[in-house]
Amino acid sequence: MPSAFGHAVAAIALTKASPRVRFGARVAAIAALSAIIPDVDVVSFSLGIPYEHMLGHRGLTHSFAFAAAWSAMMLLLFQRGERTMWLWLCLFASTASHPLLDMCTTGGLGCALFAPFSSERFFFPWRPISVSPVEIHSFFTQWGLRVLKSEALWIGLPSALVFATAHLLKRRPTRD
Ligand SMILES: [Zn+2]
């Protein structure tokens, strides 16, 4: 995985990328949580579930089906007002960004994007992001530094571009 920081930054940028709706801080916070939540499956290691199992790390919680169900659940819990479809889409994109970014990392197994229908694991052919350690203590080492550097380049920079573009568009006067 990229680190939780990388996932959260990407999701917050996604909330700013919506062409139709401007989402505020509350949605950004839910999107960030949605982008981190798939990694709750690391508990599978302590439960003795093998990595390659559908319930193992990067299994079911790293699928499109999970992203769809999780986003629907968040809507039910936090939905206020209209634009429900856009909010669902935004949260779905934030949650699904997690496995898609994991598929750009250099280590571990791929993601079971189509679980629970298939347990096949997928990676992108191009994987520029250094894989983040699962254990917290390993993060505060050279390894963690390498991860943050690669995330700054491959997640931070594109996200900053999205933020800047959204900011510029917001300043442009609209006619309607
Ligand atoms: Zn992950």
What protein residues have CB closer than 5 angstroms to ion ligand 1?
A: 1, 39, 102
Tens digits of per-residue pLDDT, 44-101?
999 999 999 999 999 999 999 999 999 999 998 887 666 788 889 999 999 999 999 9
Distance 99 CA to ligand 1 centre (A): 6
> Would the pTM of this model clear 0.75, i.e. be above it?
yes
Distance 168 CA to ligand 1 centre (A): 32
What is the DSSP code (8-state) at residue 123? -
Tens digits of per-residue pLDDT, 89-124?
999 999 999 999 999 888 889 999 999 999 999 999
Tens digits of per-residue pLDDT, 145-175?
888 888 888 888 888 888 888 777 776 655 5
User: Alpha helix locations (H) across the chain?
Assistant: 4-17, 25-36, 43-46, 64-78, 84-102, 136-139, 142-151, 157-171
Distance 39 CA to ligand 1 centre (A): 5
For the chain, the structural domain boundaries read 4-171
Distance 74 CA to ligand 1 centre (A): 19
Going by C-alpha positions, the residue among 111, 150, 112, 110 that lies closest to residue 130 is 150
For residue 48, the model assigns a pLDDT of 95
